[in-house]
Structure 1
Amino acid sequence: MAAQSKLAEVAFNCSCQEYIHPWTSSCACATAGMLLSLIPGTFRTYSMVYLLALCMRMRIPSLKDLKHTASSILQSTAFLSLNGSLFILAICLVRQYLGGFYFSTAAWLPALLVSSICLAVERPERRAPLALYVSNVGIETLWKMLESRGLVRSIPNGQVLIMGVSVTALMYLYRAGLHKTVVKDATFKGLSVIMGKDEEGPLKTPIGNTSQRTFPSGLNFRCIMSYLQIYDYLFTLNHPSCPHKQGCAQYALLGGLKPFLGGVGLSVGLKLLLNITKIFQFKMQWRKQIFNKGSLKLGLALGIFSLLFKTTSCGLRHSSGFDNALFAIPAGLIGSIGLLHFPNTTVSLYLMLKSLQLLYNWGVSEGKVPEVPNFSMMMYGFFTAVLCHSTVLEAQSMRPSYFKFIQNISGGRLSRFNLKPFEAFGVKSQDQANYVIKKLGITMTSPNPLFALTV
């Protein structure tokens, strides 16, 4: 007990210089050095993001487009650079105000204080997508932190369950036609590409002949014409309430084939793009990188989902005699079987957050739920604080790619933080950081980070 009390005293009395800027005694120099280190990295990152978005418009950019892109790059660079540098300053100021470090004030509280303020520097139309992205990574990180404490437990294919329920909710909004009114979002453009325009709402009243074809009678199964009649009947069978013109069997089969081919093409295209340097150097391992089962996963997930969704929807229309947007719920849940081929946590969390956001917007428009002012900024602030806390004190709960990104844009500062005084917190912060640093192959060729500004 005395040993634990001694460790807690060491953690509380740890100075900010000993913790986050051992190369300089000045908090102002530490903040300025962090700012100078962040600017080049964030500028490169946002330049790639905005230039890629400009290229995806598939048209020659005008002078106005170029000016807007340049302005957006500079504004986003300023936002993220300020966020990171003021985080360092906030740690120093919070420690000075409270007199020492607590578990929640070593990273979480300073990040919470500055992140929401810094988001105001970013363009208004970028705030909600940023909050969504940070929440995506933050929820995954928070789950791992709770899991490491034994408070929660992951279930097999849990991400597939989340993805299936989320896609089902989006498909209901799509079939109900709400995506054209109160829940407009670019996500539905992707759904329309995968599912086609026929399932798009709002539902239309059937026009034209409502009589149904009858099964051919007097069949002679010794004659090949009988089998052709059965084939023609099954392939052209269509209920009047179905929104498509061709037969239901043809509609479902083609509806599964097109997303399958599109998914495979997208997977292969991305792999080729990511390995373009190896291709030009003739070092591409085609069998290992392209011609494998992994290239089929996305295509199988999209194709089977679309096939089962459309088959179930048509079956419900045939059995009930009418069409209803609520049919998207059982159809989506059954179609989710296909998503077992693509159990991706990042995509699952994105779809979950997007569906919750759109359902919330729908509830607000209907007056069912209250509108929370600046909800995106609050969500961004909370989950940014979670990420900062995890990156510094519980590194093994953080995505390795995110840890490496922070390490690079901070000029190598993250790996130089001294976390040994915080052993009293019981999460073995220094051991976790050392494990991640070794796993990522991070080496320190210099005792000081980039722009150390030593005093």
Structure 2
Amino acid sequence: MVEVSKQLFESTCSNIPCHHLLHPWNQGCWTSTYLSYKNSFIGSAKFYLVVHLAQNLARGKKILNKEELKRAGENYVRSTIFGALVSGSCSTLGCLFRWLLGNKFRYHGYILLPSTLNGVGILLEPPSRRGLIVNLFSNMLIEYWIRSLERAGYMKMTKAKQTVLFMFGSAILFYLMRLEGDKENRTPLFWIYTPDKVRRKTDHSQNVCPHEGLCSKYIMKGSLTYFTVGLAFSLARVILPKYRTPLKALTSIRWHHFDMAMFFGSYIGIYRAVVCYLCNKRGYDSALYALPAGYIAGLSFLFKPTLGFAIASLTAAFKVYSTILYEKKILPEHIPLPLMLYCISQGTLFHSRFMHSEVCPSYIFKLMNTVSNGCADILYANMLEVIKRAS
């Protein structure tokens, strides 16, 4: 992977014809449009099929409802169109910016500006999914900035620092999630676990904990359930690529493939255990118990430390808090702040895929190459070839 600076790019690629770096499958800017969008629709359909299947399966029996199936199909089509338009319009907008900037490639006009502008395509996604996508991209944007600072020598994110970050994020997130537990429409989050709402003192139950039955059964059930979920994810990544050779797939399983299962299982088990302890100790339930419970449970992060997870806990907490700010009219509703955040995040991350590959989150590589049906890797290889020839 090569770090491509502004000076290096403009000194080597400025006068290169646009079809070399934007649409090598056809020399004409407009005649290449059909193939650009065709590849993008194919790639987008493949990518979002996996994404939507995974999300719908995670919802369990609700997806069996006829109305839910219809809505799921509609959401898949909207996501596919969104991905195809974003990917397909990159070459069209790239050619446009090149023409506007004097028929020369500019560092910020190649990928950054086109990918920032076409980020408005997220409006094609249903509102229920937009928040999750904005949250995902803002997570990766922060991850990219942190990695950039690390590479520059300004900071170093050790395992201990990441763990503390995750512990604080978990504590705040679980607290805010319990605060809005009684709301009919909770803030949509793609998080490991949704805590039970606070049991009010007026509830006609002898149990002061936020669950029915024995605490030990409640704790063990949650821990085992999420241990199984984590193990299933890990083993699926190992076994599915080698499904044609089952014996080889099974023998490739190692102890580190249980890390995610240990992380998920202990995370939920510790959280539930601390909440139950405090409920029984104080004689009533409270949203405040989520603060120490989430903080202590965050120690489970040591089983599977990843910078993305550490950041995600804090950004998810901020998302819930931003809902409160909108409800209190502190954040203006007439200014599309989430849309602006997404456009900036997408533009910066797609730009980093080409110019700062060493610090670009790995998910962006997979996303861009799959949705473009392999075209992103071709364009990147062409750019490096131009730079190599000029050096």
Q: TM-score range by the shorter chain?
A: 0.7 to 0.9
1 or 2, which has the higher helix percentage?
A: 2
Deviations 1:181-213 (A, max 9, x none): 287135599645xx6x4xx3154269899xxxx
Structure 1 residue 357 displacement after superposition: 0.7
Equivalent positions of 1:41-440 (< 5 A) are: 41-55=43-57, 56-58=59-61, 61=64, 64-99=67-102, 100-116=104-120, 118-176=121-179, 178-181=180-183, 184-185=186-187, 187=189, 191-192=193-194, 197=196, 200-201=197-198, 203-204=200-201, 251=215, 254=217, 256-274=219-237, 275-276=239-240, 278=242, 281-286=245-250, 288-289=252-253, 292=255, 294-295=257-258, 297-300=260-263, 302-303=265-266, 306-307=269-270, 310-311=273-274, 314=277, 318=281, 324-371=286-333, 373-400=335-362, 402-417=364-379, 418-419=382-383
CA distance in 2, matches of 1:308, 1:64: 35
Q: Which residue is equivalent to 2:3?
A: none
Specify the code of the residue in structure 2 equivalent to 1:128.
Answer: G
Structure-2 separation of matches of 1:129 and 1:286: 34
Change (3 A) 1:76 1:7: closer
**Matches of 1:26 and 1:97 in 2, distance apart?**
17
SS in 2 for 1:29: coil
Alpha-carbon separation, structure 1, partners of 2:92 and 2:71: 31
Cα pair 2:208 2:279 within 8 Å, conserved: no
Q: Which amino acid aligns with 2:46?
A: R
Contact 2:44 2:370 in 1 (8 A): no
Alpha-carbon distance in structure 2 between the residues aligned to 1:113 and 1:420? 25
**1:311–1:264 CA distance, 2 compared to 1 (3 A):** closer
Tell me the distance in 1 between the aligned counterparts of 2:260 and 2:77. 38
d(CA) in 2 for partners of 1:65, 1:19: 43
- Scaled by the length of structure 2, the TM-score of the pair is 0.79
Over 3 Å counting, the alpha-carbon distance change for 1:208 and 1:67 in structure 2 is closer
For the residue of structure 2 that corresponds to 1:27, the secondary structure is coil
SS in structure 2 at match of 1:201? coil
Report the structure number with the largest CA radius of gyration: 1
Residues 314-365 of structure 1: CA deviation (Å, up to 9, x unaligned): 35974x7776433432332233223322323333333322211101111222
Q: 34, 37, 51: which one pairs with 1:35?
A: 37
State TM-score, norm by structure 1. 0.70
SS in 1 for 2:42: helix
Structure 2: segments with no counterpart, 5+ residues: 1-5
Identity of aligned residues (%): 20
Q: Please give the root-mean-square deviation of Cα atoms over the aligned residues, in Å.
A: 3.9
Q: Gaps (5+ residues) in structure 1? A: 210-239, 432-455
Q: How many residues align?
A: 380
Which residue type is aligned with residue 350 of structure 1? A
Change (3 A) 1:256 1:148: same
How far is 1:171 from its partner? 2.0
CA pair 5-160 structure 1, distance change in 2 beyond 3 A: closer
AA aligned opposite 2:153:
G
- Give the drift of 1:304: 5.5
User: Shift of the alpha carbon at 1:151?
Assistant: 4.2
2-structure distance, mates of 1:337, 1:388: 33
Change (3 A) 1:337 1:123: closer
In structure 2, distance between residues paired with 1:27 and 1:336:
52
The range that moved more, 53-62 or 379-388, is: 53-62
CA contact (8 A) 2:116 2:344 kept: yes
Tell me if the contact between 2:111 and 2:351 (Cα under 8 Å) persists in the aligned partners. yes
Alpha-carbon contact 1:260-1:303 (below 8 Å) kept = yes
